[in-house]
Amino acid sequence: MVNDPFKALSHPIRRGIVEQLAAGPAPVGEATAGFGVSKPAISKHLKVLEETGVVTRVVEGRTHWVSLEPEVLGEAADWMERQRALWGRLFDVVDEYLKEEGPK
């Protein structure tokens, strides 16, 4: 499950869409404007974002609204924080070892 947000954010266009949606829900056209790719390409990127749960879509009449699901990204952020803490401790151990050994 934690891999899904990473898959969603693995492409710069999808990251850009997520950044635009951080301001709040938006019609698909607004959320995907300015990326310089075709509508079919945008549709594929939105499909990945929706399949991974990072974005949800609501249809109101002819307007498709997309919104960010921050709790899904929160799971990835939590995982990264645990990894950062683990690696920080490991580097501290290595640092202490190197200080004890000193130059020879």
Domains, the chain, in order of start with CATH, read: 3-101 (1.10.10.10)
Give the orientation angle of helix 12-21 with respect to helix 39-51, to 10 degrees.
Answer: 70
Cα 50 vs. chain centroid, distance in angstroms?
12
Query: How far apart are alpha carbons 73 and 18 in whole angstroms?
Result: 10
Nearest one of 67, 70, 68, 80 to 2, comparing CA atoms: 80
pLDDT in tens, 35-86: 999 999 999 999 999 999 999 999 999 999 999 998 888 888 888 889 888 8
Contact indicator for 8, 52 with CB cutoff of 8 Å: yes
pLDDT digits (tens, 9 = 90+) for 2-29: 468 888 888 999 999 999 999 999 999 9
User: Are 46 and 28 within 8 A, CB to CB?
Assistant: yes
Task: Enter the DSSP assignment of 69.
Answer: -
Q: What is the pTM of this model?
A: 0.74
Q: Return the SS3 of 16.
A: helix
